[in-house]
Amino acid sequence: MRSNKSGKLLSLTILFIFVIFLLSVVWTLRSDTKIARMVPLILVLILAILSFIHYKPASKTKQQPLFVPKRFGIGISVNPNNPTGRLFWYLVFAVIMILIIVVAFSN
């Protein structure tokens, strides 16, 4: 029961951050400041971290598939418990962090 509540809370948090992300993209289109360009990237990083937590399965077996069905909706997701999937998630985090740093220190 507890995990179901935490799953719903995590899903609502992801949805809330996504709505803020969309609003920040509109704000970015209207202004051209550094902070306006950084906010969407920071929100994408937060969404990626929350998605990683959300899709990380509770059971840990030695052989995990690379792709797993989405917990909600239709489709598949990269499994963070598979070594290749974990590498993929870390690469996504690294690319987002590099983009944040580039935007922060650009003219």
Give the total number of structural domains in the chain: 1
Compute the Cα dihedral for 78, 80, 83, 86 and give only its sign. positive
DSSP string, 37-95: HHHHHHHHHHHHHHHHHHHS-S---S---SEEE-SSSSSEEE-TTSHHHHHHHHHHHHH
How much is the pLDDT for 62? 67
How much is the pLDDT for 2? 45
The whole-model pTM stands at 0.62
Give the DSSP letter of residue 6: H
Residue 45 CA, chain-centre distance (Å), reads 6
- Asked if 12 and 3 count as a contact pair (C-beta separation under 8 A), the reply is no
Q: Which domain holds residue 80?
A: 2-105
Compute the Cα dihedral for 95, 49, 72, 86 and give only its sign. positive
- Asked if 68 and 57 count as a contact pair (C-beta separation under 8 A), the reply is yes
Q: Higher confidence at residue 75 or residue 107?
A: 75
How much is the pLDDT for 1? 41
